[in-house]
């Protein structure tokens, strides 16, 4: 009996002080592709995500809403669960950092790191928007001015510190040797530059309860709670039952962690240092995705009122169309652009006219000319090395380009062979051969599409797999006559 193969992938855990947006959705869908692909390869997969629920911003948002922090986070975490369901995400773990198990295991981790933790007075700049301390060299000069709307606070506190500086050279070596592989290359270079030129400084990892009560208590010190970013990073192993649970033994180190570019330093420097301090392995791959901007490079933000919810798109075009656009037309290596116009073009031209039309034409011709009997489909085995390489490098757009070359190949084959003329000439053997080849090619495409467009893949497979046509219920991607109005250019913010 073969031993099971294990694979784990994790997203970062979104902060719950606001509603889910298409940036969160991008990360969920990217990680879902990796999880589904690993299952196709025969792995037992653990796919984890969740919500980050402590810290100042959450406490303030709860107060503004007139709720306790616990009641507020209970409600807001459900919004992220709803998004995961909406997007057909196949995660089998969802952690909340307010879970009792997480809090208990966070305390265990703290105790195990105590050799690298010390208490000291600190005076420094605090970025309230990101809930992090920044050094003078990291600070934005504009925000040092007291009248800036997001001016740094200069805090003087007695906090616990983590000896992050101790691990600078070890982390640098892990990244240079690709034992901790960071994708894409630009983000690897960025963190290496930080490690080599500036070096890591020790970081504050607690806040006094007189300033913030909403957090995980520091073990044996009721006057302090754990700093939210330090504690939230622990979720990746607390969800596995660190240190004693079998899941931890099977699924750590993670195969891939998927995170946004704005939290690169936390995941490529602080988190590896914590793991080194615990004496356990770092993730094999850290994939860092970009941000999504509106047409014209306009950044989406709550303050501008130009955010787009995933449900807004899915309700019109369907979940697989949503997944397709954000996996193929948002660059896997940098920032990507969303507009209704671009989305509609991808939906109609690629999903509708190319994939949907190919499936419809082949199924209709087999039904019309052969009473629905497909005949012997030749093996659809093709070289998938470039597709596999693209996924190994988290180049989701490149992998889908490889698939679409095959979609277009089927359409080109049909146009060249002209089955309708073969039927008219009663060249039954050649006709059967052509349509069987096309059906087999579409089945092969469905297999490749399964991690990306699982519903579409299942529908195509159902139509052709039994050797006779199972007529689909309607076309795969029906033409949408109306869509939401194009996002208007936001008003300029008052200076």
Per-position pLDDT tens, the chain of length 495? 577 899 999 999 999 998 898 889 999 999 999 999 999 999 999 999 999 999 999 999 999 999 999 999 999 999 999 999 999 999 999 999 999 999 999 999 999 999 999 999 877 787 777 666 777 777 788 888 777 878 888 877 899 999 999 999 999 999 999 999 999 999 999 999 999 999 999 999 999 999 899 999 999 999 999 999 999 999 999 999 999 999 999 999 999 999 999 999 999 999 999 999 999 999 999 999 999 987 655 555 544 455 688 999 999 999 999 999 999 999 999 999 999 899 999 999 999 999 999 999 999 999 999 999 998 888 766 789 999 999 999 999 999 999 999 999 999 999 999 999 999 999 999 999 999 999 999 999 999 999 999 999 999 999 999 999 987 777 899 988 766 554 444 333 333
Spatial contact of 477 and 355, defined as CB atoms under 8 Å apart: yes
353 and 273: one domain?
no
CATH of the domain at 114: 3.40.50.620
Q: How many helices (H) and strands (E) does the chain have?
A: 20, 16
**Residue 494 within a domain:** no
Maximum CA extent, the chain:
90
Domain boundary among 261, 290, 319: 290
Residue pair 127/133 in contact by the 8 Å Cβ criterion:
yes
Coil, helix or strand at residue 459: helix
Task: Provide the residue range defining the domain that includes 31.
Answer: 5-290
Verify that 232 and 345 share a domain, yes or no: no
Q: How many domains does the chain have?
A: 2
Residues 104 and 9 in one domain: yes
Residues 358 and 452 in one domain: yes
In a domain, 297, yes or no: no
Structural domain includes residue 471: no
On whether both 368 and 277 belong to a single domain, the answer is no
* CB proximity list for 236: less than 8 A, separation 6 or greater: 10, 48, 252, 254, 257, 271
Decide: 162 and 182 in contact? Cβ < 8 Å: no
- What is the domain-level CATH number for residue 379? 1.10.730.10
E strand spans, 177-322: 181-183, 203-204, 206-208, 217-218, 221-226, 256-260, 285-289, 292-294, 298-299
């Amino acid at each position: 009996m073969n031993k099971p193969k294990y694979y784990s992938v994790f997203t970062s855990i979104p902060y719950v002080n606001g509603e889910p947006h298409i940036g969160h959705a991008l990360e969920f869908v990217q990680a879902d592709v990796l999880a589904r692909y690993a299952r196709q390869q025969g792995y037992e997969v653990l796919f984890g995500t969740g919500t980050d629920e402590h810290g100042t911003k959450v406490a303030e948002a709860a107060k503004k809403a007139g709720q306790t922090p616990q009641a507020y986070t209970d409600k807001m975490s459900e919004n992220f669960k709803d998004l995961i369901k909406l997007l057909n995400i196949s995660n089998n773990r969802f952690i909340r950092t307010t879970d009792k198990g997480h809090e208990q295991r966070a305390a265990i981790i703290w105790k195990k790191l105590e050799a690298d933790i010390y208490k000291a007075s600190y005076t420094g700049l605090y970025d309230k928007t990101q809930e992090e301390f920044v050094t003078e060299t990291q600070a934005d000069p504009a925000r040092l001015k007291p009248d800036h709307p997001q001016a740094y606070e200069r805090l003087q506190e007695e906090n616990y510190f983590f000896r992050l500086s101790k691990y600078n050279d070890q982390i640098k070596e892990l990244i240079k040797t690709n034992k901790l592989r960071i994708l894409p290359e630009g983000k690897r270079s960025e963190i290496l530059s930080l490690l080599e030129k500036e070096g890591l400084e020790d970081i504050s990892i607690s806040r006094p309860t007189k300033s913030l009560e909403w957090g995980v208590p520091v073990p044996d010190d009721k006057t302090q709670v754990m700093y939210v970013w330090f504690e939230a990073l622990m979720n990746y192993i607390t969800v596995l039952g660190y240190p004693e649970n079998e899941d931890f033994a099977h699924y750590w180190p993670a195969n891939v962690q998927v995170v946004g570019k704005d939290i690169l330093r936390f995941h490529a420097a602080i988190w590896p240092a914590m793991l080194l301090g615990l004496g356990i392995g770092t993730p094999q791959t850290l994939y860092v995705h970009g941000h999504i901007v509106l047409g014209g490079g306009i950044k989406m933000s709550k303050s501008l009122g130009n955010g787009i919810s995933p449900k807004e798109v899915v309700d019109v075009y369907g979940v697989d169309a949503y997944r397709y656009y954000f996996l193929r037309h948002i660059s896997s290596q940098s920032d990507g652009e969303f507009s209704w116009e671009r989305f509609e073009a991808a939906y109609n031209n690629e999903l509708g006219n190319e994939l949907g039309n190919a499936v419809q034409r082949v199924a209709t011709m087999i039904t019309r000319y052969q009473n629905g009997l497909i005949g012997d489909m030749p093996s659809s085995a093709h070289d998938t090395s470039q597709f596999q390489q693209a996924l190994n490098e988290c180049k989701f757009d490149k992998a889908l380009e490889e698939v679409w070359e095959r979609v277009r190949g089927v359409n080109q084959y049909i146009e060249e062979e002209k089955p309708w003329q073969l039927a008219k000439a009663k060249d039954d053997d050649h006709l059967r051969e052509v349509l069987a080849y096309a059906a087999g090619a579409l089945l092969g495409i469905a297999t490749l599409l399964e991690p990306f467009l699982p519903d579409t893949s299942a529908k195509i497979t159902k139509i052709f797999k039994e050797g006779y046509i199972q007529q689909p219920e309607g076309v795969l991607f029906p033409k949408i006559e109306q869509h939401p109005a194009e996002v208007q250019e936001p008003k300029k913010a008052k200076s």
